[in-house]
Structure 1
Amino acid sequence: MDLNNKVALVTGGGTGIGKATSFALAERGAVVVVNYSRSHAEAEETVQAILDGGGRAMAVQANVANDEEVRRMVDAAAQRYGAVDVLVNNASITRHIPLDDLESANDEAWDELFQVNVKGMFYCARAVAAWMNKNGQGAIVNLGSIAGSTGSGSSLPYAVSKSAVHGLTKSLARALAPHIQVNCVIPGAVETRWWEGREEQMRRLAPNLLLQRLAAPEDIAECICAVLAQEAMTGQTITVDSGQTL
């Protein structure tokens, strides 16, 4: 897809990978809708940076775990710009629970992570699909995680939720074909605020990767844009992890 003048919604678009993706899309001429739940200041800063660079952008608040809020967000973007052509399903949360601490993986943890990480992505995809089908074309990129591929990560519920995102990608690709492409980018360790308080662990990990570096948010953003540029691909998962899972 040629991103010039396309309307792209990025959930969690004001921080980390979402912020880098918002900038990368704007650089390619897209109109960027920066979603946020609580990071209002960061989202507005991202929008202002895009506007200062001559691009077009707006910030919209919505908790992706709330279907009604998601529908309002998508309708607001579509009514302002006339379409929603691209969705980057980036918003996710986690809880840090040792994998072997099964008692701490309680109902609250499971429900919260699945509501945001899985159902939230579904809600967003469902909301944009109507607009994409109306225009006869659209593309969705979900953000997975190597935790969903390896079963190991910040917590057991998080790893399982990301595995579900990988499966959701394939199911949506079938459900939304032929007009809407759905793919998944699977980051490994990325230098974002998720490492806050665990910076030493991050520094110890990097030398053990094949490329001896953690990915930067910009690395993931470039892969997302490359996936969006490929018009003959759907239902695929692409891992960007500096060789972490090889």
Structure 2
Amino acid sequence: MDLKDKVALVTGGGTGIGRATSLALAERGAYVAVNYSRSKTDADETVQLIMNKGGRAIAIQADVSRDQEVREMVRQVVEQFGTIDVLVNNASITRHIPFDDLEAATEEVWDELYNVNVKGMYYCARAVASFMKTNQQGAIVNLGSIAGQTGLGSSLPYAVSKAAVHGLTKSLARALAPDIRVNCVVPGAVSTRWWAGREEQMKRLAPHLLLQRISTPEDIATLICAALEQEAMTGQIITVDSGQTL
């Protein structure tokens, strides 16, 4: 898919990988709807960065864990740009909980992470699917995590939620074919605000990676765009982690 003049919705698009992806899509000529839940200032800044380079973008608020808010967001994007061709399901949250502290992984934590990380991606895919099917083409990229492959991560519920995202990707690829392609990009450690306060840990990790570097948000954004453009691929789980899981 040529991304020029396509309409893209990026959830959690104001910061980190989401911002890098929003900018990368705009550079390729896409019109970008930058979703945010609470980070309005960051989303507005992302939109301004795109517009400063002559692109078209809007910031739009919605909590992806709430189906009605997702449907209203999609309605507003279509009202503004006419359709939606591309969805990047980037919005995710975590809680930092020691793996051996099973009691800390409460029902509230499980519900919160699953509602955003898994059900939120499903709600967004469902809400855009009818427009993509009408156009007889569309592309979705979900953001997974190596936590979903290794079982390790910031918390046990987070790792399990990301494994579910990988499974969701394959099921959606089957459900939405042939008109809509669905793939999953799986980052390892990425230099984003998730590492705030743990910079020393990140520096210690880098030399142990095969490529001896921590991925940047721009690294991940480049692969997301490639997955959106690749018309012969669906249902794939693509890892980009500097060799961390090899």
Give TM class, smaller chain. over 0.9
Q: What is the root-mean-square deviation in Å for CA atoms of aligned residues?
A: 0.4
**CA–CA distance in 1 between the matches of 2:55 and 2:196?**
31
Residue 84 in structure 1 maps to residue 89 in structure 2: no
| Deviation sequence 1:18-69 (CA, Å, 0-9, x none) | 0000000000000000000000000000001101100000000000001000
Displacement after TM superposition at 1:243 (Å): 0.1
Specify the code of the residue in structure 1 equivalent to 2:102. Answer: L
**Residue 118 of structure 2: aligned partner:** 118
**CA–CA distance in 1 between the matches of 2:100 and 2:239?**
26
**CA–CA distance in 2 between the matches of 1:229 and 1:125?**
18
Residue 64 of structure 2 aligns to a residue whose secondary structure is coil
Specify the code of the residue in structure 2 equivalent to 1:207. Answer: P
Pairing 1:81-160 to 2, within 5 Å after superposition = 81-160=81-160
TM-score by length of 2: 0.99
Residue 91 of structure 1 aligns to a residue whose secondary structure is coil
Specify the code of the residue in structure 1 equivalent to 2:168. Answer: L
**Residue 218 of structure 2: aligned partner:** 218
Specify the code of the residue in structure 2 equivalent to 1:197. Answer: G
**CA–CA distance in 1 between the matches of 2:79 and 2:173?**
26
Residue 29 in structure 1 maps to residue 67 in structure 2: no
**CA–CA distance in 1 between the matches of 2:146 and 2:88?**
18
Displacement after TM superposition at 1:199 (Å): 1.1
**Residue 12 of structure 2: aligned partner:** 12
**CA–CA distance in 2 between the matches of 1:4 and 1:102?**
48
Count how many residue pairs are aligned between Structure 1 and Structure 2.
Answer: 246
**CA–CA distance in 2 between the matches of 1:129 and 1:78?**
12
**Residue 198 of structure 1: aligned partner:** 198
TM-score by length of 1: 0.99
- Any stretches of 5+ residues in structure 1 without a counterpart? none
Specify the code of the residue in structure 2 equivalent to 1:139. Answer: A
Q: Which of structure 1's runs of 4+ aligned residues deviate more than 3 A?
A: none
Displacement after TM superposition at 1:134 (Å): 1.2
Residue 108 of structure 1 aligns to a residue whose secondary structure is helix
**CA–CA distance in 1 between the matches of 2:99 and 2:213?**
25
Displacement after TM superposition at 1:136 (Å): 1.0
Specify the code of the residue in structure 1 equivalent to 2:54. Answer: G
Identical aligned residues as a percent: 75
Specify the code of the residue in structure 2 equivalent to 1:187. Answer: P
Displacement after TM superposition at 1:83 (Å): 0.6
